[in-house]
Amino acid sequence: MIRRALAAARTWLAPWAEARRHRLEAFGAIVQLTRPRALVFVDRDRARALGLDGGATWAGPAPGVDDAPLAAPLEAHLQLTNRCAAGCAGCYTGASAAAGPGEWGLAEWRRALDALADAGVFHVALGGGESATLPWLGALVDHARARGLIPNLTTSGLAGLDRLLPIADRFGQINVSIDGLGPTYAAVRGFDGFARADAAVRALRGVTPHVGINVVVTRANFAELPALFAYARRRRLAEVELLRWKPSGRGAAVYERLRCTDAHHRALLPTVLAAARKARIRVKLDCSYTPMIAHHDPGPQLLAQLAVYGCAGGDFLIGAKPTGAITACSFAAPPPPDGDRRPRVDDLAGYWRRPDAFGRFRTWRAAAEPCASCAYLTQCRGGCRVVSAHAGDLGAPDPECPRVVDHRRDVAFGNEGRRVGRRLPVV
Amino acid sequence: MTRRGRILATKWGLNPNSSSLGVDVTFLLVGATAVAMATPIVGALLRWRRPAAAPAVESAAPPAPSEPAEPR
């Protein structure tokens, strides 16, 4: 019995004693912790204190974290397939029951993982389409682990569960897309799939504790957010991740009908923090919500410490289409062809360093007003480029940012570094 | 004397979402003071772990673009 207890203790403690991976950066280094799960940005002195030697990477004066793009992305979002039979009304990839032309298979994605690992990427987020239906998903996940990458997955839970359950414990985190409870699910997605998605949540939770839900926030489900947090608590889930509706794929056609209102955006952060506190569950907001966080003026320094960033496409993250084409983020179009083909994710090392890489995703420092004078520009980076592109100009300020809305109405907005009284529900 | 240096940022958790970068904002519930108090704990955890055999990558960052590129 004592031997069993000691073995259990060793198993529990093992991740705490795991070796830390790191990546050198011009400002210092990024160090990965596996428990607690975190990427820690340290300056050169702290990196030296940890025994790291920057060599040529640290030649010259140390820049700030945001003075230039990172040495490589932190994570890559791989759309393994565009095949999905669910037919959601607002699918941002426009997925269909048939796979798209030229989709990569296991060998090509393995090569992509090799390129990402060689570049120093820490995490990959696998999605689709519905990647859970791919017969080679387990082999790909094993390859990611073997190369030191942590694989994570988003699934609809509507298909491929029989394939996914036996390999679920190999993922760092799996989130099931649930945009509403019962009828609200149908209001957002166009069909009632809640029962099947809920069954997937319960089955996955039986295999691994690292299960959460992704919720695309719309005007149809905004009022239901506290109930969704309570649902996540009942299912003993690890987190709720809230995503802004993006005008991409089939989502563009129903964008005006389903996107949140300005009032929703201003109320989002207090609403979700109160719901998270009540349900005692962790909450994540996607990068496109950073303008709505900044609206509550938590302080640029605090957001920097928590690595809260707006558009980090082509810097902290990259995307890859099912054909392997590299993109700044999953919603962005691939770069123009370079010779006879577009740059691919396995070309990352070469493409990353090009001065024109990722186009206007990397030119946020030249932002127009009201972003130029915003105290949060470095964190927010102008908001979501995809929403700006939908409004007509990819490089323009996010038109749904409360500060931009006020600027256009000629209403004074006070987050130029001074407090404006929109305090958060701090406990 | 060796300077201890600073922890500049901590990005918590893993992001399973393949369409955007999810950030854990739960810390906003407890405010800047709690975040500042957590930083020494993160520092201790960093020191406790031994380094991996080889760094993931040793390369300089690309230059920051100075001229806006053409929209796509």
- pLDDT score of B72: 35
A34: alpha, beta or left? (left if phi > 0; alpha if psi -120 to 50): alpha
- pLDDT score of B68: 38
pLDDT tens readout for residues A69-79: 999 999 999 99
Q: Residue A277, class by beta-carbon neighbours within 10 Å (0-12 exposed, 13-18 middle, 19+ buried)? A: middle
Long-range interactions of A387-395: CB distance < 8 A, separation 24+: A387/A244, A387/A246, A387/A247, A387/A288, A389/B71, A390/A247, A390/A248, A390/A252, A390/A255, A393/B71, A394/A359, A394/A360, A394/B71, A394/B72, A395/A360, A395/A363, A395/A368, A395/B68, A395/B71
Inter-chain CB proximity A393 and B71 less than 8 Å: yes
Inter-chain CB proximity B52 and A51 less than 8 Å: no
Q: Which of B4, B25, B29 to mutate to test the interface with A (most CBs of A within 10 A)?
A: B25
In angstroms, the separation between the Cα of residue A36 and the nearest Cα of chain B is 8
Residue written as token pair 């990965």: A32
Comparing CB atoms, the residue among B25, B29, B50 nearest residue A426 is B29
Q: Which of B24, B28, B33, B47 to mutate to test the interface with A (most CBs of A within 10 A)?
A: B28
In angstroms, the separation between the Cα of residue A100 and the nearest Cα of chain B is 18
Q: Is A322 on the interface with B (CB under 8 A)?
A: no
Which H, E and C letters describe chain B, residue by residue?
Answer: CCCCCCEEEEEECCCCCCCCCEEECHHHHCHHHHHHHHHHHHHHHHHHCCECCCCCCCCCCCCCCCCCCCCC
Q: Order the strands of the B7-12 sheet from edge to edge.
A: A21-25, A28-34, A37-43, B7-12
Q: Is B41 on the interface with A (CB under 8 A)?
A: no
With CA atoms as reference, the chain B residue closest to A32 would be B46
pLDDT confidence band for B3 (50 / 70 / 90): confident
Mean pLDDT of B19-43: 88
The one-letter code for the residue type at A1 is M
Tokens of A143: 């390859």
Q: Is B33 on the interface with A (CB under 8 A)?
A: no
- Choice between A325 and B63, residue whose per-residue pLDDT is larger: A325
CA A204 from chain centre, in angstroms, equals: 21
List residues bridging with A239 in a β-sheet: A212, A282
Q: Is A301 on the interface with B (CB under 8 A)?
A: yes
Q: Sign of the C-alpha dihedral, residues A95, A98, A100, A106? A: positive
Inter-chain CB proximity A148 and B70 less than 8 Å: no
- pLDDT score of B53: 60
Tokens of A315: 């810097």
CA A157 from chain centre, in angstroms, equals: 19
Inter-chain CB proximity B45 and A36 less than 8 Å: yes
For chain B, what's the residue count? 72
Q: Which of the residues in chain A have pLDDT under 50? A: 414-421, 426-427
Q: Which A-chain residues 342-401 have CB contacts (< 8 A) with chain B?
A: 352-357, 359-360, 362-363, 365-366, 389, 393-395
Q: Are A273 and A425 in contact (CB under 8 A)?
A: yes
Half-sphere exposure at residue A241, Cβ-oriented, CA atoms within 13 angstroms: 29
DSSP state of A248: -
Inter-chain CB proximity A26 and B3 less than 8 Å: no
List residues bridging with A127 in a β-sheet: A79
pLDDT score of B49 more than 90: no
